[in-house]
């Protein structure tokens, strides 16, 4: 079946450290891929997306590249801030029909000063 696997958290970093959150997927077909972020007490916000292989999504200093050969969509940021502390969700959706977003379990990031 279709699924998303994220690295387990929490991920704890110091401010200005480099961030990588791994995400791999299994899908029948060619999915679009997303990263959502959830700040404490809030709903989910779309952070970035990529709709085809080799696309790079980017927003707010975060980047992720759609790697079809490794079925991955890892989230990276060169220098994290305390305000980046949140839960990050990787997700996929397949085209056609009434397909729905399939989410990973989420990875909590805590950034300390």
Partner 1 sequence: DVKVTQSSRYLVKRTGEKVFLECVQDMDHENMFWYRQDPGLGLRLIYFSYDVKMKEKGDIPEGYSVSREKKERFSLILESASTNQTSMYLCASSLERVLYGYTFGSGTRLTVV
3-state secondary structure of 98: coil
Residue 28 sits in the site that holds partner 1 (CB under 8 A): no
Q: Which is nearer to partner 1, 14 or 95 (CB)?
A: 95
Instruction: Please provide residue 51's backbone torsions phi and psi, each rounded to the nearest 5 degrees.
Output: -110, -10
Residue 79 sits in the site that holds partner 1 (CB under 8 A): no
Report the nearest approach of partner 1 to the CB of residue 89 (Å): 7
Instruction: Please provide residue 82's backbone torsions phi and psi, each rounded to the nearest 5 degrees.
Output: -55, -35
Binding site for partner 1 (CB under 8 A): 32, 34, 36, 41-46, 49, 51, 89, 91, 93, 95, 98-101, 103-106
């Amino acid at each position: 079946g279709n699924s998303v696997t994220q690295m387990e958290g929490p991920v704890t970093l110091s401010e200005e450290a480099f961030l990588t959150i791994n995400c791999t997927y299994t899908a029948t077909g060619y999915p679009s891929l997303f990263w959502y972020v959830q700040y404490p007490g809030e709903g989910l916000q779309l952070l970035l997306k990529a709709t085809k292989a080799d696309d790079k999504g980017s927003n707010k200093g975060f980047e992720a590249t759609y790697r079809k050969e490794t079925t991955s969509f890892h989230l990276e940021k060169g220098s994290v801030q305390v305000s980046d502390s949140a839960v990050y969700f990787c997700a996929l959706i397949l085209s056609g029909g009434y397909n729905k977003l399939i989410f990973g379990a989420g990875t909590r990031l805590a950034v300390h000063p």
